[in-house]
Amino acid sequence: MCSSTGTATATVQIKNERARVTEWRFANRGDNTGWHRHDYDYVVVPLFDGTLEIDLGNGERVTAQMQNGIPYYREFGTEHDVINANDFECAFVEIELLEPKPS
């Protein structure tokens, strides 16, 4: 993921030629990833029950309900800023699939 500077903390846990696993931790309400575009397909595993706000960059903001341990998948090209909409610390694990899709 290529990102502008946000206030959330990104900790790369695994990085090799096939995958990159990053924990994103948001200490406070309003902490954010910074505007970014995903260069790879990815899976997100929330580590909390709560809400994230997604800034889509066109003046539109949506909310996304997260459930602890329930993953979701997105394809490359997604552009957004992810914002903590909770009054508590929250985190998720992002798994980027660095290999191309099989044809």
CATH class of 2-97: mainly beta
The pTM of the full predicted model, rounded to 2 decimals, is 0.92
63 closest CA partner among 42, 86, 46, 40: 86
Q: State the Cα angle at 61 between 66 and 7, rounded to 5°.
A: 70
Nearest CA to 88 out of 34, 58, 52 is that of 52
Q: Measured between alpha carbons, how far is 53 from 61 in angstroms, rounded to an integer? A: 7
Measured from the Cβ of residue 46, the count of other Cβ atoms closer than 10 Å reads: 20
pLDDT digit string, tens, across residues 27-68? 999 999 999 999 999 999 999 999 999 999 988 999 999 999
